[in-house]
Amino acid sequence: MQLNFLWLTVACCWAALTTAKFIVPGARWHDTNGNLISAHAGSVSFDDATGKFWWFGEYKVEGQTEGGGVSVYSSEDLATWSYHGLALEPIEGHPYISPDMIIQRPKVVYSERTSQYHMWWHADNSSYGLLLQGLATSPTAGGPYTFVNASSPLGNWSQDFGLFTDYKDGRSYALYSNGDRREGRDVYVASYDKDVGALERVVHRFDKYDLEAPCIVQTESSYYALMSHKTGYRPNNVVAFRADSLAGPWSQPWIVAPLNTRGFNSQSGYTLTIRGTKTTTYLYLGDQWDSNSLWESRYIWLPMAIDDKKKDLQIEWHDVYDLDVKTGDWKSVKGKTYFGKDATTSGNAFKQEANFASDGVILTGIYGNDSTVTFSGIEGSVQRPLRVSLKHTMTFVMLTDVYSPPDTDDMGFGDQPGGSPDRIKGAWQLRRISSVVVNGDEANVQTLFQRDTHKGIILSTPLLLTLEKGSSNTITVGGLSNGVDYKGADLDRIVVYPPEP
């Protein structure tokens, strides 16, 4: 009896401890101190010694978006992150890691042979004239890491940097684009020596594809290499290649997210494979850069659907999902939807025909605080913050008075230099900004950063709101200034998700 009872207690608490937390791609992610997580273009890996996931990334704060060093966070569930400070701290006057230098795309791997954690990154000066790979090491996962050197990989140039470890033989590989010069524009896969201390040889060159931000995910039978096009901090259609072996032959690239979502508004960066007790889950870890405010850039982490028989990989969108890192299982969280057709409009906001939208209408003309839309009858089951996802799009139809030149083509955005995101009064805007007011409480205006999308493409923007218990909540959306205008994105619907368990 007693043993049974004890066993039950343990089972209960173990289950409670490992209860998965929600992952909300594109939300503002905070660490356990309540600060915005700043770990851009980084890597996340599980460390056996500590039994935790460690997330390294570029540390960016307002006013210093480059050379901020490498931050590090740890987590047991991939949703709750504790900050451990800078794993690689910039050193004033240092030739490679001073705050004036570029310290980008850090990746960390454990070297069995040196018993050290090895951090590699794209080391450069501010004009990208050096194109080196930096190495720093630490005896512990969390650091601090000590700078070792920065060098040219096998004599070539190295810009966007990635790192991949083959789970079958433990061998690690550097992935790097060799910059934008005419002689460059390739992406390399090069093997490390067994120490992961230097590169040994080039295993494959993706010749002249002119792609960047490379990462690789491995299944039992395939390697998939994901990369983005080169459009600066503007997102584009992320592509993947497949091969049986890292040396190739590699397939043609294909687009891994629905067309014109621009990789769900993200750039490829890293992948994380969770080989759980029940299933294996492949996560895409992308960056949602905000070029107007780099330090506020967000993270798009999504499961990938990989079908080795069809030789296909696709990234799947989920507003909110629940991941159990022990079993590897995840499920999409269900929300309650409120459609635009049932919302009321004020001022110049109106419902416009849109055959791609829910019920064939979309809410548009959301401008300033006198042209708003209001969703009513929104249910709040508990008095805790609820995650609300506003499904929005923007159509250039409503922007004919403000975008220029008239032949601007967003179709080729990413692939053609002529492509352009939303252009308001001549200025590129990667986002619109809306005000969100709950239950008419004008004193607590929430700010919603809505990403620019392609014509007719509906994407979600998450926002954490507090609703009253009962079903009489209202949510009012207006436009806020993005420095150029007061336009909010067109809205399709609102989905309210339950709070975390």
- Point out which residues bind ligand NAG (CB under 6 A): 125-127, 129-130, 149-151, 155-157, 178, 183, 186, 205, 368-369, 442, 486
Nearest CA to 240 out of 232, 219, 412, 409 is that of: 219
Shorter beta-carbon distance to ligand NAG: residue 126 or 383: 126
Helix count and strand count (H, E) for the chain: 2, 36
Nearer to ligand NAG, 151 or 344 (CB): 151
How far is residue 385's CA from residue 320's CA, in Å, rounded to a whole number?
14
Residue 27 Cβ, how far from ligand NAG at the closest point, in Å?
25
Nearer to ligand NAG, 79 or 202 (CB): 202
Q: Which is nearer to ligand NAG, 417 or 440 (CB)?
A: 440
Q: 152 or 279: whose CB is closer to ligand NAG?
A: 152
Pairwise CA distance, residues 421 & 409, whole Å: 9
Pairing status of strand 102-111 against strand 116-124: antiparallel
State the nearest-atom distance from the C-beta of 194 to ligand NAG, in Å.
17
The residue assigned the tokens 């960066």 is: 269
What sign has the CA pseudo-torsion 289, 291, 295, 296?
negative
Give least dist CB 215 to ligand NAG, A. 20
Which of 243, 288, 291 lies closest to 261 in space, CA to CA?
Answer: 288
Task: Kindly tell me which of 383 and 481 has the beta carbon lying closer to ligand NAG.
Answer: 481
Taking the least distance from each CB to ligand NAG, the nearer of 55 and 192 is 192
- Residue 90 to residue 99: CA distance in whole angstroms: 6
CB of 259 to ligand NAG, least distance (A): 30
Classify the phi-psi angles of 63: left when phi > 0, otherwise alpha if psi is within -120 to 50, otherwise beta. Answer: left
Closest-approach residue to ligand NAG (CB): 129
Least distance CB 480 / ligand NAG (angstroms): 8
CB of 150 to ligand NAG, least distance (A): 6
Q: For residues 424 and 430, what is the distance between their CA atoms, to the nearest angstrom?
A: 10
| 163 Cβ neighbours under 8 A, 6+ residues apart | 43, 107, 109, 120, 172, 173, 174, 175
Q: How would you classify the pairing of strands 321-323 and 254-255? A: unpaired
Question: What is the DSSP code (8-state) at residue 402?
Answer: T
Judged by CB, which is closer to ligand NAG: 116, or 156?
156
Q: Name the burial class of residue 379, with classes exposed (0-12), middle (13-18) and buried (19+) by CB atoms within 10 angstroms of its CB.
A: middle
The CA dihedral of 148, 150, 155, 161, to the nearest 10 degrees, is 110
How far apart are CB 373 and ligand NAG at their closest, in Å?
16
Q: Quote the least distance from Cβ 284 to ligand NAG, whole Å.
A: 27
Closer CB to ligand NAG, 182 or 309, in the complex: 182
* Distance separating alpha carbons of residues 386 and 241, to the nearest angstrom: 39
Token output for 94: 């240092």
- Report the nearest approach of ligand NAG to the CB of residue 16 (Å): 44
